[in-house]
């Protein structure tokens, strides 16, 4: 059974940009928490070429009501032409953690 909580993922090319996006999301109460994972190696197709980059992965914890705002903030602040934005439904988890998310975002 799904919950109203979502994990939004994106990547950034620099730690500075990852931190800027994370801080903006938390400051604006669009996300309760953002984890930044360093040294994510990405291999992907871009403009007909196989490309390899080191990136920073953001794991954004939010409520379904804020997903659109989160995506808009990512698009507005992101340097990439086509930023990764994936939204994952959270099926289950700690009730205490979910209560904390609600408290932070309200």
Q: Is the pLDDT of residue 1 over 80?
A: no
Do 61 and 32 form a contact (C-beta atoms < 8 A)? yes
For residue 66, the 8-state DSSP code is: G
| CB neighbours of residue 1 within 10 Å | 4
Q: Is the pLDDT of residue 2 over 90?
A: no
Q: Tally DSSP H helices, then E strands, for the chain.
A: 3, 4
pLDDT of residue 31: 98
pLDDT in tens, 5-49: 999 999 999 999 999 999 999 999 999 999 999 989 999 999 999
Per-residue pLDDT band for 56 (boundaries 50, 70, 90) equals very high
Whole-model pTM? Answer: 0.94
Delineate the domains of the chain, giving CATH numbers in brackets.
3-103 (3.30.70.120)
């Amino acid at each position: 059974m799904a919950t109203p909580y979502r994990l939004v993922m994106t990547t950034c090319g620099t730690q500075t940009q990852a931190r800027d996006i994370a801080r903006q999301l938390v400051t604006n109460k669009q996300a309760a928490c953002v984890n930044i994972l360093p040294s994510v190696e990405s291999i992907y197709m871009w403009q007909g070429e196989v490309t390899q980059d080191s990136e920073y992965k953001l794991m954004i914890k939010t409520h379904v009501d804020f997903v659109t705002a989160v995506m808009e903030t990512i698009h507005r602040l992101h340097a990439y032409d086509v930023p990764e934005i994936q939204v994952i439904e959270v099926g289950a988890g700690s009730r205490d953690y979910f209560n904390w998310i609600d408290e932070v975002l309200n």
